[in-house]
Structure 1
Amino acid sequence: MNAKIMTRLAVFAVAGSLLAGCASQQGTNTAVGTGVGAATGAAIGAIFGGGKGAAIGAGAGAAVGGITGYNWQAIHNKLSGATKGTGTQITEQPDGSLKLNIPSSVTFDTNSYAIKPSFAPVLDQLTQTMQQNPELIAQVIGYTDSTGQPAYNQTLSVNRAESVTGYLGQRGVAPQRLSASGMGQNQPVADNNTEAGRAANRRVEIYLRATAQHATQ
């Protein structure tokens, strides 16, 4: 095996270790993640295309790093201030997204998909946060309890999710950054045989994610 091949194999090994490190670190600063991704991409690119390949690989790697190394702390703090006292839970997920679980006491009245006044401050802060962080996209999922017909609950859950994305869109968040879906009475998080359980199941979940397209701009 000649020296050139050995060198490429060594670079590939380093790239692999960098990728592993990047994938295992959650909640670090985006710039750090991007830097590691760029280094990894450059190493892989060098194997296949020399200097030009390294440059291309660095760009692709930076995009990956921007996603896996996103720092949610400042956004978490802002949203926590707007949701204080509402019972909203904000948690970082294993896939790197930030989840807002907003209870029915805040979001919608029974059998309604009109946004309650108590929900508006939460959505206003979310709107501001997304405008200040163009790398973010939001996935909104509506849920109901098991009372009523499944088909009705499914439609209601979709309408509620679309009410949220419609609210955000009307206040300047681009439609391509928003998605809405409903799960109806599926995936309950509590016992539907109790009032407290049904209240917990009537919820809206919003997942915030960072995208490669915006993270590298």
Structure 2
Amino acid sequence: MNTRIMTRLSVFAVAGALVAGCASQQGTNTAVGTGVGAGTGAALGAIFGGGKGAAIGAGAGALVGGITGYNWQAIRNRLSGATQGTGTQITEQPDGSLKLNIPSSVTFDTNSYAIKPSFAPVLDQVAQTLQQNPEVIAQVVGHTDSTGQPAYNQTLSVNRAQSVVNYLAQRGVASQRLSAEGRGDTQPVADNSTEAGRAQNRRVEIYLRATAQHQQ
């Protein structure tokens, strides 16, 4: 059987897998993402590597598709319950991650990186979510408004992000699944010339991302 025929058979086989993935009874985004990823990977593999390339591409594509198509619905529902009334916004991002945007009224007092009592229930649920989903990692990003010196704001934002990471680690989340980053006043989402705008800019963002582990 020549290479051209094998290539076509590989692509057809992956196309069948794509349909099966989309028709899965689980109805999860992961299944759909895996199928789409497999189809894309096989097509590229067939173009660049013949029949063998299609098979390899399908495997790699399925892995990537599964990661970006992670099903966040159950996690989002639990987090929504814990954050109700806090002003926290939970949104799925284009890269497949889930973002929690927690406002300053909940997180920290002015010029402080000590976690407020109102922030604890939110973080407790995040910690529980991470423990129940070992394939998920968390990136914590701190932001400030433009009041004060940029160097001070940068340090404060780092300390606040690290406080969140420390809190999660103390509740049993492995440190290697957590990262902290401070961006000071460099990424405002509102006008710093108004109090309302500054309040929006003082925030903590937690990004939850799935890793390849959930494919295993």
Give the alignment's TM-score, normalised by structure 2: 0.83
Aligned to 1:5: 3
After superposition, give the CA deviation of every residue in 1:65-117 in whole Å (9 maximum; x if it has no partner).
32022111111110000000000000011111111000000000000000000
Aligned to 1:131: 131
Q: Secondary structure at the match of 2:90?
A: strand
Aligned to 1:185: 185
**Contact 1:101–1:205 (CA<8 Å) still a contact in 2?**
yes
> In structure 1, how many angstroms separate the alpha carbons of the residues matched to 2:195 and 2:16?
51
Aligned to 2:52: 48
Q: Secondary structure at the match of 1:180?
A: strand
> In structure 2, how many angstroms separate the alpha carbons of the residues matched to 1:17 and 1:137?
32
Q: Secondary structure at the match of 1:123?
A: helix
Tell me if 1:99 matches 2:99.
yes
**Contact 1:40–1:58 (CA<8 Å) still a contact in 2?**
yes
Of 105-114 and 67-76, more deviation after overlay is shown by 67-76
> In structure 2, how many angstroms separate the alpha carbons of the residues matched to 1:10 and 1:108?
59
**Contact 1:34–1:63 (CA<8 Å) still a contact in 2?**
yes
> In structure 1, how many angstroms separate the alpha carbons of the residues matched to 2:205 and 2:137?
14
Aligned to 1:110: 110
Which residue type is aligned with residue 98 of structure 2?
A: L
Which residue type is aligned with residue 110 of structure 2?
A: T
Q: How does 1:2-151 map to 2 (within 5 A)?
A: 4-11=2-9, 28-34=28-34, 37=37, 44=45, 47-48=51-52, 54=55, 60-151=60-151
Name the % identity.
77
> In structure 2, how many angstroms separate the alpha carbons of the residues matched to 1:41 and 1:83?
39
> In structure 2, how many angstroms separate the alpha carbons of the residues matched to 1:187 and 1:57?
38
Which residue type is aligned with residue 7 of structure 1?
A: I
Aligned Cα root-mean-square deviation (Å) = 2.9
After superposition, give the CA deviation of every residue in 1:166-198 in whole Å (9 maximum; x if it has no partner).
100111111111111010011101111111111
Which residue type is aligned with residue 48 of structure 1?
A: K
Q: Please report how far the alpha carbon of residue 215 of structure 1 lies from its aligned counterpart in structure 2 after TM superposition.
A: 1.2
Q: Secondary structure at the match of 1:91?
A: strand
**Contact 1:41–1:58 (CA<8 Å) still a contact in 2?**
yes
Is there any run of 5+ residues in structure 2 with no aligned partner, and where? 22-26
After superposition, give the CA deviation of every residue in 1:136-162 in whole Å (9 maximum; x if it has no partner).
011110000001000000000000000
> In structure 1, how many angstroms separate the alpha carbons of the residues matched to 2:114 and 2:171?
16
**Contact 1:12–1:47 (CA<8 Å) still a contact in 2?**
yes
**Contact 1:18–1:40 (CA<8 Å) still a contact in 2?**
no
